[in-house]
Amino acid sequence: KAGVTQTPRYLIKTRGQQVTLSCSPISGHRSVSWYQQTPGQGLQFLFEYFSETQRNKGNFPGRFSGRQFSNSRSEMNVSTLELGDSALYLCASRIGASSHGYTFGSGTRLTVV
C-alpha cells in the first residue's frame, strides 16, 4: 500500500516568487492536512481539506492557500515568498475521525533565497 507522496522533495525559490507543492494521499483517505515545520516554531497547522472542501485553517497569511481535487490529491501554494517561508512542509492524510491519526509524507523542503 503506497504511503503519502509529496513532490518535489526539495525546492529552492527566490524571494517574491510563488511555489506549488503537491501531495497524494493514501488511497481511500479523503482528509488531507498540511503542516509547516521550522526549527523556531515547530509544527504549525496550515489547513485541512476533506472531499475538496477546506474544513479548517491555521493562523497563516493569505499568501498560503491550498486546494483538494476530486481524487483527494492536494496542492498548497505560497505566493510572494519570504525568507521566513523556508521550512519543511508536511502533508498528512487520514480516513476520517481524528482518533485514527495521520499518516505523514516525507515532506517538501522549501528554501527561499
Partner 1 sequence: GDSVTQMEGPVTLSEEAFLTINCTYTATGYPSLFWYVQYPGEGLQLLLKATKADDKGSNKGFEATYRKETTSFHLEKGSVQVSDSAVYFCALSKVPTGNQFYFGTGTSLTVIP
Assess 8 for contact with partner 1 (CB under 8 A): no
Q: Enumerate residues 6+ apart whose C-beta is below 8 A from 99.
A: none
Q: Quick one: which of 33, 36, 68, 93 contacts partner 1 (CB under 8 A)?
A: 33
Cβ proximity to partner 1: between 18 and 54 the closer is: 54
Burial of 89 (0-12, 13-18, 19+ CB in 10 A): buried
Q: Is 9 exposed, middle or buried (0-12, 13-18, 19+ CB in 10 A)?
A: exposed
**Residue nearer to partner 1 on the CB measure, 14 or 59:** 59
Site size for partner 1 (CB under 8 A): 24
Nearer of residues 12 and 43 to partner 1, judged by Cβ: 43
Q: x/- binding map, residues 43-82, to partner 1, per CB under 8 A?
A: x-x--x------xx-x------------------------
- Centre a 10 Å sphere on the Cβ of residue 72 and count the other Cβ atoms it contains: 21
